[in-house]
A and B are shown apart, each in its own frame.
Chain A
Amino acid sequence: MTDTETATGRPRPPTTQPRRASFGPVLRAEWTKFRTVRAWLVGLFVAALLSVLFTFLVANGRHEGSCTGPPPPGSGPNSPGSNCHAGHPFVPTGPDGEPVADSYYFLNQPLTGNATITAEVTSLTGVISTEPANVAPSQTSTRRGLAAWAKAGILVTPSTNQGSAYAAVMATGSHGVRWQYDYTHDSPGLPGLMTDTSPRWLRLTRTGDTLTGYDSTNGITWTQIGTTRLAGLPTTVSVGLFVASPVSFQDSNNGSPTLATATFDRVSIGSRGGAGAVDAWHGQSIGNGSKSFYPTLGTGGYHRSGSAFVLSGSGDIAPGVGEGLLGADTAASSLPLGLIAGLLVMVVVSTTFITTEYRRDLIRTTFTATPNRATVLAAKAVVIGVAAFVIAAISAAVAIPLSEHILKANGDYVFPASALTEIRIMAGCAGLVAVTAVAVLALGAILRRGAGAVTVGIVVFVLPYTLKQVLAGSADEWLFRLTPAAGLDVLGALPRSAHVAYPYTLGNGYYPLTPWAGIAVLCAWVAIALGVAALVLRRRDA
């Protein structure tokens, strides 16, 4: 069409919209440009090297001068003759391989075949330790107070080993009656709280592999609140009454162990229609003491009061979460510094990829070869983005297993991560670096000067990551929500649980956004930078 018009020789009005060049050749040209400057390739290599090096330093510095491997058998962390602090306490693993808390007091007896257990919980009270965090809790220094997730109820388990499968129906401190099984599953019972004036009736039945929980306010009308099949449940299981009381947090950092006491009345065990052996009760403290990671206030115990049983217990039966209890080491927890260091180098490489063209007026040659400037910017963005992605992915692929290995060798507990999670972290790191590289490239196009672009790039896209320690209060949470630092949320790998009252704060290793939301926030920043750059490039003379 254009050719026909040219043939007529009529002068045409110049169009403002430049014709779109086909992308392939421009991309190839920018790639040739990038790979033929050795300093940039060296920059990529340095970025990768620093990432791995700093990750190593952080992982290795978590437990300096410690012994490696698990502690020798029989010697606890505080046992005499061992000044070895390494070797984390035992963390039980649940049926699905996840870390769990499994510490409680259990009054149980073995039971064979199908059965129905019923009990009335008539009271639930508690105390909270008042000792500072670094002093061993003692039963004498406590104040009254019931943890929200203090639990008292009926539990069935194939074994009393920590981490074994279970199902339980229970009254809680302030979450009403619940049906829970295998640590992660939870469903509520009838509305309303259990109080001294309105006791709750609980019932758990076993039929083959199937366990069912019931809730009642009067012991006459029962409501089923949950059921499950525990595959492979042996014929003889332990059934009984349990009490647990989890750590209570006053603020983000300070948790205190608690102890709850519950009164169970009218306990009945109906087995094959007959009455259970009421005197076969056996009291047992599960996962209590210095070997277990979960902080408890004493070992608990029980006594009989007339027809009633009074149990006290400390601990929790729930998913394992968080730093306060376990140390926040995950597959990703050693990565941030290496990531930031690598990012810093990438910022320099990426800005100079465009600012040196301005410095040398090479940009005119570039725009003469490809008049559509947005295409040039896009090609540059793709080149630098892909280069950054690949380099960051490689660094992460090295750094993640390396840091995990070192942390474990240093005796730290590392939250187990599925292969999928590890791949997500790796892709997240790579995406974060790639997207940031594109953003600072856009900055370079806007500012044209290396000094300005590198500084603004570092201040806007790298500095927020480092501000965590400078800011007070909850300001840092917003930092990781709104600023480009939100990208770091892709590193979030600590488990959360809706039925564990834990401060899921940044200070405890929990990022405020989900990984992909974090990347989305970062991408929004990049989109702004790219948009402004494309606009400015088009409007401005080269």
Chain B
Amino acid sequence: MTDALHAEWTKLRTLTTTWWLLIATVALTLAVSVAMAAATHLTAGGGGQDPTRLSLTGIYLGQAVIVVLAVLAVSEEYSTGMIRATLSATPRRLVLLAAKAANLAGLTLVAGVLGVAGCLVVGRIMLPTDGLNPAHGYQLVSISHGPTLRAAAGSVAYLILIALLSLGVATAIRDTAVSIGAILGLLYLAPVLAEALTNPLRRHLEQIAPMPAGLAIQATTNLRSQPIAPWPGLGVLTAWALASLLIGGLLLRLRDA
């Protein structure tokens, strides 16, 4: 296992693409959060806004890059034919998948921590000037605040789970473009579908779709009005990721390379 882990690590780290994608993840996440913070202003009624969630909006776009990173980790092997070399080096295919998963999780963790920390700093600096400050009854974004810590750590976990979900899907589909299309479709279309529906269908969809459920972890205020509570929401996404890895792993074992 450690050999496979090491081999996969070497494979990932020796591709400049990997590092560019990680940088892009952090950069896009921050850019969107900065743009959101700049566009935010206190509405007339006040209240109802969630400063922590606002500052973490960048994850919405940053995850797309993580999806690409995870998909490429396996689909590139198929498109170049390198998978045959890989599998002759590591014949135990589930070990191989686990090694890929572990490496991806590690890299995503680093990018996630950097991105999320940056987002919180953005929120701390920019949001008070938009009116989301103690004078208007808003707490400053701070990691010492329990729910904010949960949202921050949860967002990193969210990205890791998205990476694992993507890895499983890509292992099953094998084609780069189709995999990316399928995953981004699953992530981004579900909330739009939910929005078009009326309750209770809408609520149910938001409880089981990977992105709305997973991002519930970012909520720090008005928890009651969320369709799903933070931790159970992340649990739903975990189930998605595990199921996808399971199916991907099964197909990897059963199919010819």
Contacts and interface: CB of A to CB of B under 8 A. Distances in A.
Contact of A454 (B39, B180, B200): B180
Interface of B: 36, 39-41, 43-44, 57, 60-61, 64-65, 67-68, 71-72, 75-76, 79, 176-178, 180-181, 184-185, 188-189, 191-193, 195-198, 200-202
A334 B196 contact: yes
A86 to B, nearest CB: 11
Contacts of A337: 189, 192-193, 196
Contacts of B177: 348, 351-352, 355, 450-451, 453-454
Contacts of B44: 251
A461 to B, nearest CB: 12
A193 to B, nearest CB: 28
B79 A61 contact: no
Given A458-B180, A472-B39, A451 B72 contact: yes
Interface string A460-479: 00110110111111010000
B230 to A, nearest CB: 19
B68 A465 contact: no
Contacts of A347: 181
Interface stretch (A266-274, A338-346, A531-539): A338-346
Given A61-B201, A351-B177, A359-B79, A341 B196 contact: no
A58 B191 contact: no
A308 B256 CA distance: 94
Contact of B64 (A58, A334, A458): A458
Contacts of B57: 470
B79 to A, nearest CB: 6
Nearest to B185: A344
A455 interface: yes
Given A344-B189, A455-B68, A469-B191, A61 B181 contact: no
Contacts of B79: 359, 450
Determine chain A's interface SS by DSSP, over half rule: helix
Contacts of B191: 466, 469
Interface residues of A, number: 40
Contacts of B75: 451
Contacts of A58: 193, 196-197
A352 B179 CA distance: 12
Contacts of A63: 198
A424 interface: no
Given A451-B176, A454-B176, A466 B197 contact: no
7 contacts: A61-B196, A337-B192, A340-B189, A344-B181, A450-B79, A451-B176, A469-B191
A63 B185 CA distance: 25
B39 A475 contact: yes
A336 interface: yes
A336 B189 CA distance: 11
B180 A61 contact: no
- Lowest 10 CB-CB distances: which A-B pairs, in order? A61-B197, A348-B181, A58-B196, A450-B177, A454-B177, A450-B176, A454-B180, A352-B177, A344-B185, A451-B176
B61 A459 contact: yes
Contact of A344 (B65, B184, B195): B184
Nearest to A359: B79
Interface string A83-120: 00000000000000000000000000000000000000
Determine chain B's interface SS by DSSP, over half rule: helix
Interface of A: 54, 57-58, 61-64, 251, 334, 336-337, 340-341, 344-345, 347-348, 351-352, 355, 359, 450-455, 458-459, 462-463, 465-466, 468-473, 475
Contacts of A54: 189, 193
Contacts of A351: 177
A454 B196 CA distance: 26
B41 A57 contact: no
B161 to A, nearest CB: 19
A89 B148 CA distance: 46
B222 to A, nearest CB: 15
Nearest to A465: B192
A341 B185 contact: yes
Contacts of B196: 58, 61-62, 334, 336-337
A301 to B, nearest CB: 35
A323 to B, nearest CB: 13
Contacts of A62: 196-198
B64 A473 contact: no
A455 B197 CA distance: 27
Of A57, A61, A359, most B-chain CB atoms within 10 Å: A61
Contacts of A465: 192
Contacts of B193: 54, 57-58, 337
Contacts of B67: 455
Given A451-B68, A455-B68, A462 B197 contact: no
A352 B180 CA distance: 12
A182 B191 CA distance: 42
A454 B181 contact: yes
Contacts of A471: 36, 39
Nearest to B44: A251
A532 B57 CA distance: 31
Contacts of A453: 177
Nearest to B200: A64
Contacts of B72: 451
A11 B185 CA distance: 56
B165 to A, nearest CB: 16
Contacts of B192: 336-337, 340, 465-466, 469
Contacts of A458: 64, 180-181, 184, 188
A61 to B, nearest CB: 4
